[in-house]
Structure 1
Amino acid sequence: MITGSFLALALFLGYAVAVCLSMAATFGISAASHGFVAEEYRIRRRYKFVQDAVWLVATTAGGYVAALVIGETHPWLGGTGLVAILIGVLWVNAWEMRQRGIEHQIVMSVVTVVGVAGGFLLRLR
C-alpha cells in the first residue's frame, strides 16, 4: 500500500515537474520573441528544435523528481510509468501534434525516454 502511494506520488510529481517546466519555458520564449516561435500562425522549424531540447531538460528533471520520491524500491516501475504517461499525453494532444508534425512527435517521444532515464540515472547513481 505504501509503495503504491509513493509510486503514485512519484508519477504525479514527475509529470507535474516536466509539464510545468516545459510550459514555463514555452511561455517565456513566446513572450520574449514571438517572431522566433511562429510565423504566419505556424510554428517555426527552428523553434521546434528548441522545444525538443527544452523537453529533454524538462523530462530529465521530472525523472529526477520521480526517482527522488520513489527511491530505490521500484525504479524501473516508476520510470516506465512516467514515460508511458508523458508519451501518452504527448500523443493524445491532437492540436499540438498537428502543429509539431509527426517527425517532432517521434523525436519528443524518444527524448522522453532518454530524459526520464537520465533523470533516474542521475538520482540513483
Structure 2
Amino acid sequence: MWPSLFFGLPGFVSAQEADVDAGDIVNADSAEGQKMPSTEELLQMVDSMGLAEDEKQNLIDRILKGLPLPAADAGVEPEKVFAAADYFTYQTILFLSMVSLITLIFVFFGYKLYTSLSERERKREEKRKLKQMKKKK
C-alpha cells in the first residue's frame, strides 16, 4: 500500500499545481531563485551537448513527452525506467484483477450453493407431492 501512495503522490501533487505557470516555478536546488528553463531552452541545451543523434533524439522525446530523465549514475537502461504514473497504473490493474478474481470465486460458489439448495427444495416438493398422492388413493 505504501508504494502505491508514494508513487501516486507525485501525480496528485502535479495535478494540484497544474494551475501554476511554468515560468513561475523556481528550481529547489538554486540558491539564487533562478527560474526553471522552458522547453525551448531545454531543447537548445540538448542540441549544444554534443550527444550522438539517437541519444539526442531520445532525450528530446523524453522532454517533449514529460517523461522522467534517466539518471546518469543509476546504471539502468532508459527503457527500464518506469514513470510514477506507469507504476501506479500497474498497481491499480493488479489490484483490480485480484478483486475481480476473488469476486468471481465468490460468485461461482454462491451459484453452486444456490443450485444445490434449489435442487434440494425441488426434491422435497416432489416427495411431498408423492406422499399426498399416496394418501389420496
TM-score by length of 2: 0.22
Greater relative contact order: 1 or 2 (C-alpha under 8 angstroms, separation 6 or more)? Answer: 1
TM-score by length of 1: 0.24
